[in-house]
């Protein structure tokens, strides 16, 4: 059973983001992501009565008998949220942590999708997939997505020392896909030390379980390496958007004397003198440079990029992104 304060926090997010969706984002969401219309589904053998124009001549030539392309009308959207729940996301120097900001962002997107009668799915990850919720419709489902982003804790080791499998509620088909992916991942990384955050692995998981096109938001602080190429691969099939969540103290350090800092994911500790103006300037320039480099990398990979400050409005950068997509779509 959830603690009372968690329930209260989820309800606060529901009320606030629900109002913002109704007032600001719902119409923009629909105009940006709707209207895909007819999509290719499969090829099948020709039967008398099929349109000659639907024949796939390449497949027909290879198979030696006529095949036709089959299309389906796809009006409903599937929104997938890949949310980073690694230890670095717990950091927060203002009114909320990066993880709480990510939960509010996911709430905005989930309620926008629900408002438009679309499906919402969720995968929580750090060095591996922690929890997977297949895409479903409805406000109750959207609330579950928000609750999991906000409160989910990594699975602990059992009495034998082995880590339990991520919790999930899957259909038989989804279960087979998940089990196949998980087995392959464990063979591949057997004996390797945890990286803390594995964005590429989360994207690989998306490609395994999402057989139809989705709009996927990858929400993380992106303290990881070698994930751009995998996100670019996913973007060939899915509409992938990168969302960087930062805290003000990652971009600017106050002068408070000598302090000890610890990396939340590696445990490495260092001592710094924050009274040094050279150090504070380096923090500012380094933080700004990192954001600029991430933006450039995603732009080069043709992946849209959103920057969210955990201490500021979550709505403003999302609304700005929707307006940008709408202008681009009208060109």
Give tens-digit pLDDT for 97-136: 999 999 989 988 988 888 888 899 999 999 899 999 999 9
Q: Say what the pLDDT of residue 304 is.
A: 96
Domain map (residue ranges) of the chain? 4-36+76-330, 38-72
DSSP H or E stretch at residue 69: strand 67-73
Let me know: does 304 contact 241? Beta carbons within 8 Å: yes
pLDDT, average across residues 159-172: 42
Class of domain 4-36+76-330: alpha beta
H-helix or E-strand spanning residue 304: strand 304-309
Q: Is the pLDDT of residue 171 over 60?
A: no
**For the segment 268-278, what is each residue's pLDDT rounded down to a tens digit?**
888 888 899 99
- What 8-state DSSP symbol labels residue 81? E
CA distance 178 to 299: 31
């Amino acid at each position: 059973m959830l603690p009372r304060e968690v329930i209260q926090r989820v309800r606060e997010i529901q009320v606030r983001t629900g109002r913002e969706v109704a007032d600001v984002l719902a119409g923009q969401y629909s105009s940006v992501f709707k209207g895909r219309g007819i999509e290719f589904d499969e090829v099948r053998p020709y039967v008398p009565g099929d349109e000659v124009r639907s024949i796939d001549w390449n497949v027909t030539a290879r198979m030696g008998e006529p095949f036709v392309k089959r299309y389906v009308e796809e009006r409903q959207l599937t929104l997938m949220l890949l949310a980073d729940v690694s230890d670095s996301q717990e950091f927060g120097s203002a009114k909320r942590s990066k993880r709480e900001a990510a939960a509010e962002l996911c709430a905005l997107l989930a309620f926008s999708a629900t408002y438009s009668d679309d499906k919402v799915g969720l995968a929580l990850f750090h060095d591996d997939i922690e929890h997977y919720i297949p895409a479903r419709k409805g406000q109750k489902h959207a609330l579950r997505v928000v609750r999991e982003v906000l409160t989910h804790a990594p699975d602990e080791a059992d009495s034998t020392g082995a880590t339990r499998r991520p919790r999930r509620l899957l259909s038989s088909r989804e279960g087979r896909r998940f089990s196949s992916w998980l087995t392959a991942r464990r063979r591949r990384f057997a004996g390797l030390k945890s990286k803390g955050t594995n964005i590429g692995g989360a994207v690989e998981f998306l490609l395994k379980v999402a057989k139809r096109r989705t709009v996927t938001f990858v929400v993380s602080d992106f303290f990881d390496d070698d994930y751009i190429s995998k996100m670019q691969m996913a973007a060939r099939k899915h509409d992938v958007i990168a969302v960087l969540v930062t805290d003000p103290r990652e971009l600017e350090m106050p002068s408070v004397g000598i302090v000890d800092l610890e990396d939340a994911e590696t445990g490495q500790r260092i001592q710094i003198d924050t009274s040094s103006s050279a150090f504070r300037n380096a923090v500012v320039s380094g933080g700004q440079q990192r954001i600029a480099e991430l933006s450039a990398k995603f732009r080069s990979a043709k992946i849209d990029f959103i920057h969210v400050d955990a201490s500021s409005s979550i709505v403003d950068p999302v609304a700005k992104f929707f307006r940008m997509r709408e202008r681009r779509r009208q060109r």
